Structure 1
Amino acid sequence: MNMIQHHIKLGIRNLLKYKTQSLISIIGLAVGVCCFAICSYTLRVDLNWNHSIKEVERICIVFTETEKGTQTSYSPFASAMLAKEYPEIESATAYSQLQPYTEKLCEIRKTDGTANYFKELFVFADHHFLDFFNIRLINGNPNEIDQTPDAILVTEKTANRLFGTTDVIGKTFTDINDFDDTQKVFTIRGVIENFPKQSDLERYSGIELNTTNEAICSPDSYTYYDGFNSFVKIKPGINIDKLNEKLKKSTLKYPKNKNEIAESIVQLKPLTKRNTLYNRNFFSDSGTIFFIIGLLVLLTALFNYVLFIIGRMMNRIKECGIRQVNGATKCSIFYLLFIEASIAFLIACTCSFAIAELVIPHINSLNPDFSIDNSYVVQLLTQYSIIGLGGIALLCLIVIHNLGKISLIQSLFSNQIIRRHSVLRNIFISIQLVICFLFLGTTWFVKQQSDLIEYRLTNGLSETDKTSTFDVSLNGDKLTPHRPEILQKLRQDPKVEIVCRNGMGFSGAWQLREGRFSWEGISDEEAKSTMGHIYTDPSFFELVNQKLRDGRLYSSEETDKAVVNESFARLFNRNPIGMQINVRYWGTEMSNFQVVGIVSDFINNRYEMNTRPVLPCIYMPFPENSLNMSCLVKIKPEYRKEFPEIMKAELSKYVNQATPTYIFSMKDDSGFYVSREQNIFKLTTIFSIISIIISLLGIYASVTLSTDRRKKEVAIRKINGATPATIVHMFCKSNLLQLFVSACIAFPILILLLKSWLESYAERISIGILPFILIFLLMAVIVAFTIIWQLWRIARINPAEVIKSE
Structure 2
Amino acid sequence: MIVHYLKIAWRNLLKYRMQSVVSILGLAVGLACFALSAFWIHYEMTYDTFHRDADRLYLVGVNDDSFGGSSASFTPYALGRYLKEHYSEIEDYCLFEAETFFVLKDNRMLELPMLLPDTTALRMLDIRALEGDESFLRAGTTDNRIAITEKAAKQLFGTTDVIGQTVTNANWNKEYTIGAVVSDWGVHTNFPYAFLGNGSGRTGWDDYTYRTLVKVKPGTDVSRLLEKMNAHFPEELTKSRYQENTGLTRFYLEPLTGLRATEGFILKNNQTVQFRYITWFAAVGGLIIVCAFINYLTIYIDRFRTRRREMVLRQVCGAGLRSLVTLLCTDFLLTVLAALVVGMVLVELLMPIFLRYSLIQDADFSNYRSILFYILSVSVVMMAIVVLWVWLFQKRSLHGNMHTGNALSGIAWRKGSVILQLTVCMAFIFCTVAMQLQLHHLRNVDTGMDYRGRAAVSIWMNVDMNVWAEKIKALPMVTEVIRPAYWPLLGEGAYSSYLIDGYTGMEGRLEQPLTFDEVLAGEEFFRFYDMQLLSGEWVSAKSEYCQVNIMESTARRMGWNPEEAVGKQLFFVNREQEPMTVIGVVKDCAYKSPTAELPNTVFVNTDQMKWMHARCFVLFKYRPGTWDECRRRIEEMQRAELPDRKLFLYSEEERYNDYLKSEDALSSLLGFSSLVCIFISIFGIYSLVTLACERRRKEIAIRKVNGATVRHILTLFFREYALLLVVSSLVAFPAAWWVMRRWIEHYNRQVEIGFLPFLLIFVGVALCVAACIGHRIWKTANENPAEVIKSE
- TM-score normalized with structure 1 length: 0.83
Residue type of the partner of 1:128? T
Q: 1:491 to 1:49 in 2, by over 3 A?
A: closer
Q: 1:715 to 1:156 in 2, by over 3 A?
A: farther
Q: 1:176 to 1:308 in 2, by over 3 A?
A: farther
Q: 2:316 aligns with which of 319, 325, 341?
A: 325
Residue type of the partner of 2:368? V
Aligned to 2:119: 127
| Structure 1 stretch displaced more, 593-602 or 391-400 | 593-602
Alignment pair present for 1:680 and 2:680:
no
Residue type of the partner of 1:656? P
Partners of 1:574 and 1:761 in 2: CA distance: 23
Alignment pair present for 1:15 and 2:13:
yes
Q: 1:515 to 1:524 in 2, by over 3 A?
A: farther
Q: 1:678 to 1:166 in 2, by over 3 A?
A: same
Q: 1:151 to 1:406 in 2, by over 3 A?
A: farther
Residue type of the partner of 2:631? P
Q: 1:161 to 1:584 in 2, by over 3 A?
A: farther
| Structure 1 stretch displaced more, 264-273 or 635-644 | 264-273
Q: 1:563 to 1:654 in 2, by over 3 A?
A: farther
Partners of 2:407 and 2:695 in 1: CA distance: 9
Contact 1:126 1:209 in 2 (8 A): no
Please state how far the C-alpha of 1:107 moved relative to its aligned partner. 4.5
Contact 1:82 1:89 in 2 (8 A): yes
Partners of 1:680 and 1:491 in 2: CA distance: 39
Q: 1:251 to 1:676 in 2, by over 3 A?
A: closer
Please state how far the C-alpha of 1:345 moved relative to its aligned partner. 0.5
Kindly report which structure 2 residues correspond to 1:361-376, keeping only aligned pairs within 5 A, or say none.
361-368=352-359, 373-375=364-366
**What is the aligned-residue identity percentage?**
25
Contact 1:714 1:727 in 2 (8 A): yes
Q: 2:213 aligns with which of 195, 220, 231?
A: 231
Please state how far the C-alpha of 1:71 moved relative to its aligned partner. 4.2
Aligned to 1:449: 438
| Structure 1 stretch displaced more, 315-324 or 79-88 | 79-88
Aligned to 1:304: 295
Alignment pair present for 1:440 and 2:447:
no
Alignment pair present for 1:315 and 2:306:
yes
Please state how far the C-alpha of 1:190 moved relative to its aligned partner. 2.8
Please state how far the C-alpha of 1:534 moved relative to its aligned partner. 2.7
Please state how far the C-alpha of 1:444 moved relative to its aligned partner. 1.6
Aligned to 1:620: 605
Partners of 1:708 and 1:28 in 2: CA distance: 22
Alignment pair present for 1:703 and 2:695:
no
1:532-569 Cα distance to aligned partner (Å, 9 max, x none)? 43323424434433233345546668787765443455
SS in 1 for 2:613: coil
Contact 2:83 2:90 in 1 (8 A): yes
Alignment pair present for 1:430 and 2:424:
no
Contact 1:29 1:301 in 2 (8 A): yes
Q: 1:549 aligns with which of 516, 534, 545?
A: 534
SS in 2 for 1:745: helix
RMSD between aligned residues? 4.1
Aligned to 2:133: 141
Q: 1:672 to 1:333 in 2, by over 3 A?
A: same
| Structure 1 stretch displaced more, 729-738 or 280-289 | 280-289
1:687-707 Cα distance to aligned partner (Å, 9 max, x none)? 111111111111121222222
Kindly report which structure 2 residues correspond to 1:6-405, keeping only aligned pairs within 5 A, or say none.
6-45=4-43, 48-64=46-62, 71-86=72-87, 88-97=89-98, 101=99, 103-107=100-104, 119-143=111-135, 145-147=137-139, 149=143, 151-155=145-149, 157-158=151-152, 168-177=162-171, 180=172, 182=173, 184-192=175-183, 194-195=184-185, 199-201=189-191, 204-211=192-199, 216-219=200-203, 225-236=207-218, 240=222, 243-244=225-226, 247=229, 250=232, 252=234, 270-272=255-257, 285-368=276-359, 373-375=364-366, 377-405=367-395
Structure 2, unpaired ranges of 5+: none
Aligned to 1:723: 709
SS in 2 for 1:505: coil
Residue type of the partner of 1:724? V
**How many aligned positions are there?**
769
SS in 2 for 1:602: coil
Pick 1 or 2: higher relative contact order, CA cutoff 8 A, min separation 6: 2
Kindly report which structure 2 residues correspond to 1:620-659, keeping only aligned pairs within 5 A, or say none.
620-621=605-606, 626-637=613-624, 639=626, 642-656=629-643
Alignment pair present for 1:601 and 2:598:
no
| Structure 1 stretch displaced more, 756-765 or 771-780 | 756-765
Q: 1:803 to 1:170 in 2, by over 3 A?
A: farther
Partners of 2:717 and 2:500 in 1: CA distance: 74
Partners of 1:569 and 1:51 in 2: CA distance: 46
Partners of 1:518 and 1:655 in 2: CA distance: 47
1:163-220 Cα distance to aligned partner (Å, 9 max, x none)? 666555445544433xx5x25344151322x43885534xx13451424xxxx43258
Contact 1:174 1:184 in 2 (8 A): yes
Contact 1:176 1:183 in 2 (8 A): yes
Contact 1:152 1:208 in 2 (8 A): yes
SS in 2 for 1:748: helix
SS in 1 for 2:600: coil
| Structure 1 stretch displaced more, 676-685 or 511-520 | 511-520
Partners of 1:611 and 1:733 in 2: CA distance: 48
Residue type of the partner of 1:760? H
Residue type of the partner of 2:617? S
SS in 1 for 2:337: helix
Contact 1:154 1:207 in 2 (8 A): yes
Q: 2:726 aligns with which of 731, 740, 743?
A: 740
Partners of 2:304 and 2:580 in 1: CA distance: 84
Partners of 2:561 and 2:16 in 1: CA distance: 79
Aligned to 1:787: 773
Please state how far the C-alpha of 1:343 moved relative to its aligned partner. 0.8
Aligned to 1:500: 482
Partners of 1:168 and 1:495 in 2: CA distance: 45
SS in 2 for 1:637: coil
Q: 1:495 to 1:610 in 2, by over 3 A?
A: closer
Please state how far the C-alpha of 1:805 moved relative to its aligned partner. 3.8
Q: 1:470 aligns with which of 445, 451, 454?
A: 454
Aligned to 2:448: 459
Contact 1:140 1:190 in 2 (8 A): yes
Q: 1:780 to 1:10 in 2, by over 3 A?
A: same
- TM-score normalized with structure 2 length: 0.85
Aligned to 1:111: none
Contact 2:552 2:562 in 1 (8 A): no
SS in 1 for 2:96: strand
Q: 1:792 to 1:325 in 2, by over 3 A?
A: same
Please state how far the C-alpha of 1:331 moved relative to its aligned partner. 0.6
Partners of 1:592 and 1:756 in 2: CA distance: 40
